Structure 1
Amino acid sequence: MTLNNPLFDDTRGNRDVDPPQNEESTDVVELVNDPVQTASKPTGTVLSSVRELLECPVCLNAMYPPIHQCSNGHTICSGCKPRVHNRCPTCRHELGNIRCLALEKVAASFALPCKYKEFGCIGIYPYYNKPEHESQCSYKPYNCPYAGSECPVVGDISYLVNHLKEDHKVDMHNGSTFNHRYVKSNPQDVENATWMLTVFSCFGHFFCLHFEAFQLGMAHVYIAFLRFMGDDSEAKNYSYSLEVGGNGRKMVWQGVPRSIRESHRKIRDSFDGLIIQRNMALFFSGGDRNELKLRVTGRIWKEQ
């Protein structure tokens, strides 16, 4: 079967891949093709058939070397082989160490469009290089940074900003300085403080300010931190400071905003922000310590 650099979409998840290895390490079962039947098929049908061959029957992802095969010719990816206890998921025969080098070579002949082409990427990449490109593609959509729910929305920055404003009713502010008050009754219930999100527009970009309560070991604390709506390479060009205080005391935090490529939970659990112990927060609040009244001020600036 001769294929002249055909193109087809592969929008499923991919693994890190290695090129096909030398044939001496494993047994080889060659694919047998009928040239007459192949020639009579329309190109689209042939490509669809090849795409099916390259799809793992267990995880449904595209397969990359080493691709394993049972004695009856059914294939499976290396990641799923141990999951099925070395038994073919199609015919239940033992998989053994048979390597389908022919299919690996067929895959190597393809050049494919990036799966993020609908977001603007026009690149075409060899089959085995595509996963690496897609992991770093600048057109890869962002997940919604709204931390109060498992929001499934993805998109570019302008789309997400509008989504946060319209669907999550997030407060939007212009400027690089801010002054926020967080007021909650009955702060003894840490869950009652939940969290808040505010979006700032400055320097031609958008930033997300998070404030929430969570449990650090056995201690109930509050944390405030900033996220950059863009990639980490750009986020590093900015710095920010946060300040909270009361009764003649104050706490100051200075840091670098993290990209929304990183999950909200990952950043929070790394404690990369202004952390305020509950007792100190109540002290800052003054009064009878039955109400949380924190004023958090901050500034964002661009490094030279």
Structure 2
Amino acid sequence: MAPGSSAFKEVVESHPKQMNHKTLKMKAESGTVKTSMSLAEKHSIHGVHELLQCPTCAGSMYPPIHQCPNGHTLCANCKIVHKCCPTCRFELGNIRCLALEKVAESMELPCRYQSLGCQDLFPYYDKAKHEKHCPFRPYTCPYASSECCVTGDIPFLVAHLKEDHSVDMHDGCTFNHRYVKSNPHEVENATWMLTVFNCFGRQFCLHFEAFLLGTAPAYMAFVRFMGEDSDARKFNYTLEVGAFGRKLMWQGVPRSIRDSHRKVRDSQDGLIIPRNLALYFSAGSGQELKLRVTGRIWKV
């Protein structure tokens, strides 16, 4: 059953969205000395930065930076691959370009996500490490599909989910979600659904899907937070499903969408419902699955 199938039905109860919550932003980890530079400095740094790009792979060079006897430089990875200089074809020796390494050590560069809001400068050798964790780096679309590679900030992704993936958007911090499947004996990883909830001025993704837990069919529901992990930890949520006086409940902390949908699912960090229990809660003959998942999100 494909995503967005009409077999999925929802009933949602919600509280009014709280619009006055101030969005918190992480401050970039630094080692920074200043946050702006003159136009002349920018031109100078741009020129030196070009010298620090490997002529062979165009990547940034880090120690050890190598050079051939004619002075042509190349990075350590390319040095392993090539026996001769890619520029002049002269045989490579074991010559380090210590001068360029020293120049790099003295440089400070802006983050690659400067246009997205990161205004700090970083030592050349720390820049790549910072960019891997920069809170201004784009998020990946949380839609659970390997085909979607769209990235952007949270407002952009919210609009993208609504317009391009037809994801349902709801306001409120409580929900009453109904899941209906006509043939519960067909469990595929592609059988899943996504709903976005707006509450406390933030967005949360409710995932519900059928998948194979080892070789056993199961269903799983979990919540992801559209933002950084440091902000996600400021919230808790509960999910529960039940019938006939019996209840299965999960309480947890929403995971940031920095963690992929697959990573969260495979870590089993959510409400897991074995198929035999799901069919019991459905109160039917086992020919149709009818589950009602209720939940709540709150600040801690």
| Fold match by TM threshold 0.5 | yes
The answer to whether the 8 A contact 1:55-1:63 is kept is yes
1:292 and 1:235, CA in 2 relative to 1: closer, same or farther beyond 3 A? same
Instruction: Report what 1:181 is aligned to.
Output: 178
In the TM superposition, what are the counterparts of 1:222-233 in structure 2 within 5 Å?
222-233=219-230
Question: How many Å separate the matches in 2 of 1:45 and 1:205?
Answer: 40
Q: Percent identity?
A: 67
Question: How many Å separate the matches in 2 of 1:58 and 1:290?
Answer: 61
The answer to whether the 8 A contact 1:187-1:292 is kept is yes
State which of 203, 206, 216 in structure 1 corresponds to 2:213. Answer: 216
Instruction: Report what 2:154 is aligned to.
Output: 157
| Amino acid of the structure 2 residue aligned with 1:62 | S
State which of 143, 163, 174 in structure 2 corresponds to 1:146. Answer: 143
Unaligned runs of 5+ in 2: 1-39
Question: How many Å separate the matches in 2 of 1:270 and 1:295?
Answer: 23
Tell me by how many angstroms 1:251 deviates.
Answer: 0.8
The answer to whether the 8 A contact 1:116-1:140 is kept is yes
Tell me by how many angstroms 1:66 deviates.
Answer: 2.0
Instruction: Report what 2:51 is aligned to.
Output: 53
Question: How many Å separate the matches in 1 of 2:135 and 2:189?
Answer: 39
The answer to whether the 8 A contact 1:148-1:195 is kept is no
The answer to whether the 8 A contact 1:176-1:200 is kept is yes
Matched pairs, number = 260
Question: How many Å separate the matches in 1 of 2:160 and 2:135?
Answer: 21
Indicate yes or no: 2:120 matched with 1:123. yes
1:147 and 1:193, CA in 2 relative to 1: closer, same or farther beyond 3 A? closer
Question: How many Å separate the matches in 2 of 1:56 and 1:216?
Answer: 46
The answer to whether the 8 A contact 1:121-1:139 is kept is yes
Of 260-269 and 143-152, the range deviating more from structure 2: 143-152
Tell me by how many angstroms 1:191 deviates.
Answer: 1.7
Question: How many Å separate the matches in 2 of 1:235 and 1:291?
Answer: 35
Tell me by how many angstroms 1:266 deviates.
Answer: 1.0
Indicate yes or no: 2:98 matched with 1:111. no
Normalised by the length of structure 2, the TM-score is 0.78
Question: How many Å separate the matches in 2 of 1:238 and 1:77?
Answer: 45
The answer to whether the 8 A contact 1:187-1:193 is kept is no
1:176 and 1:43, CA in 2 relative to 1: closer, same or farther beyond 3 A? closer
Indicate yes or no: 2:96 matched with 1:99. yes
Instruction: Report what 2:33 is aligned to.
Output: none
Question: How many Å separate the matches in 2 of 1:266 and 1:93?
Answer: 48
1:202 and 1:47, CA in 2 relative to 1: closer, same or farther beyond 3 A? closer
1:204 and 1:47, CA in 2 relative to 1: closer, same or farther beyond 3 A? closer
Question: How many Å separate the matches in 2 of 1:58 and 1:194?
Answer: 45
Instruction: Report what 2:4 is aligned to.
Output: none
Indicate yes or no: 2:62 matched with 1:64. yes
The answer to whether the 8 A contact 2:189-2:209 is kept is no
Question: How many Å separate the matches in 1 of 2:187 and 2:154?
Answer: 32
CA deviation map 1:225-255 (0-9, x unaligned): 1001110111111100000122332210000
Normalised by the length of structure 1, the TM-score is 0.77
Tell me by how many angstroms 1:121 deviates.
Answer: 1.9
CA RMSD of aligned residues (A): 2.5
The answer to whether the 8 A contact 1:247-1:283 is kept is no
| Amino acid of the structure 1 residue aligned with 2:53 | E
> Aligned with 2:268: secondary structure?
coil
Question: How many Å separate the matches in 1 of 2:70 and 2:241?
Answer: 68
Indicate yes or no: 2:83 matched with 1:87. yes
Indicate yes or no: 2:291 matched with 1:284. no
State which of 274, 279, 282 in structure 1 corresponds to 2:271. Answer: 274
| Amino acid of the structure 1 residue aligned with 2:170 | H
| Amino acid of the structure 2 residue aligned with 1:87 | K
Instruction: Report what 1:30 is aligned to.
Output: none
1:298 and 1:80, CA in 2 relative to 1: closer, same or farther beyond 3 A? farther
Question: How many Å separate the matches in 1 of 2:267 and 2:44?
Answer: 49
In the TM superposition, what are the counterparts of 1:14-53 in structure 2 within 5 Å?
50-53=48-51
| Amino acid of the structure 1 residue aligned with 2:186 | D
CA deviation map 1:112-167 (0-9, x unaligned): 22111111222222212222332332222211111134322111111111111111
CA deviation map 1:80-119 (0-9, x unaligned): 544x2x6357267665543221221222233222111111
Unaligned runs of 5+ in 1: 1-41
Instruction: Report what 1:77 is aligned to.
Output: 75
The answer to whether the 8 A contact 1:184-1:193 is kept is no
